[in-house]
Amino acid sequence: MRADDLAVEVRILDPRLPGWGFPRWGSALAAGLDLHACLDAPLALAPQAAPALVPAGFAVAIRDPGWCALVFPRSGLGHREGLVLGNTVGVIDADYEGPLMLSVWNRNPPGSGSALTIAPGERIAQLVFTRVTRPGLRVVESFSGEAAVRGAGGFGSTGLR
């Protein structure tokens, strides 16, 4: 199956989304579908405060077990402003059809005075559709074949010095 053959149904839950330009990719070659903050009023996020859930205003029905969607922060907002996702990356499974919610977090240091305000309709994240591989898993006592050098030094080690 080609990606063009994947038919994902989108159910608009917030009637303002089409006016904000949803659904659209930011450019002809963009991987991520722009996600908007479906808020009724601006949301202020204090530095390092608990993450907030922001509705994306729609639901998807992927339904093909060979696919899922991943929610990523927008690169510029994360780098320049400190706005990231509270769960780093969100996974939308093929069988999830509920409203998409975005966990947003202000990573700026406490006391920096760098509160962030998210405006209604602002593009704050992106949704990327990707293939899923679910290999057969076989539990073993030890791995077959040659002993691996990689990982012998523990977490973060390539085994090379």
The predicted-structure confidence for 85-141, as pLDDT tens digits, reads as follows 988 899 999 999 999 999 999 998 887 877 899 999 999 999 999 999 999 999 998
The answer to whether residue 18 sits within a structural domain is yes
Helices (H), ranges, 36-143 = 75-76
Residue 19 lies in a domain: yes
Residue 157 lies in a domain: no
* Angle, CA of 62, 63 and 65, to the nearest 5°: 105
140 lies in a domain?
Answer: no
Structural domain containing residue 72? 9-131
Assess if residue 139 is contained within a domain: no
Report if residue 159 sits inside a domain. Answer: no
The alpha carbon of 6 is separated from its chain's Cα centroid by a whole number of angstroms, namely 19
Instruction: Give the helix/strand (H/E) hosting 18.
Output: helix 17-20
* Inside any domain, residue 48: yes
Q: Which pLDDT value is given to residue 161?
A: 58
Domains: count for the chain? 1
- Categorize the per-residue pLDDT at 81 as very low, low, confident or very high, splitting at 50, 70 and 90: confident
Q: Rounded to two decimals, what is the model's pTM?
A: 0.85
What percentage of residues in the chain have a pLDDT greater than 70?
Answer: 89
Whether residue 23 is preceded by a cis peptide bond, meaning omega within 30 degrees of 0, is yes
Closest CA to 74 of 108, 40, 115, 33: 33
What confidence score (pLDDT) does residue 152 get?
Answer: 66
Is residue 1 pLDDT above 60, yes or no?
no
Which of the two residues, 113 and 76, has the higher pLDDT score? 76
Assign residue 93 the CATH number of its domain. 2.70.40.10
Taking the alpha carbons of 144, 147, 153, 156 in that order, is the dihedral positive or negative?
negative
* Any domain includes 156: no
pLDDT digits (tens, 9 = 90+) for 21-35: 999 998 999 999 999
